[in-house]
Amino acid sequence: MKRQRESERDINNIDRLEDMSDFFLLHIMKFMNVKDVVQTCILSKRWKNLWKSMTNLTLYCLDKSYIFSKFVSQMLSDHDSSLPLQNLDFAQIDTPQTTLLEVIE
């Protein structure tokens, strides 16, 4: 009986995320908000640069914000340049897209 409890405890303590491949983690991250994706870098050493390999990014901005522009600029400059972005979408409310596109250039 005691062994069974220990076995159950071991099963419950398995870190399933660490066992997943980077490819699978990046696929899951594709459905997350970019801000949350970038914040995954604090989870562990393995996750520190994982977000930089994202090839599909969707950015949301609700207002004209210098902070958002700065975030986009920093995020794009930190992205792994050996992996081209396949898709980069901007979803903005109350901000002309040309303003944000100027940040990228």
pLDDT block averages, 10 residues each, the chain of length 105: 59 72 89 85 86 83 72 84 82 57 56
pLDDT at 8 (0 to 100):
59
pLDDT at 12 (0 to 100):
65
Each residue of 82-104: b (16+ CB within 10 Å) or e? eeeeeeeeeebeebeeeebeeee
pTM of the full structure: 0.60
pLDDT at 86 (0 to 100):
85
pLDDT at 11 (0 to 100):
60
pLDDT at 10 (0 to 100):
59
Please count the CA atoms within 13 angstroms of the CA of 58 that sit on its side-chain side.
6
DSSP three-state, residue 92:
strand
DSSP three-state, residue 94:
coil
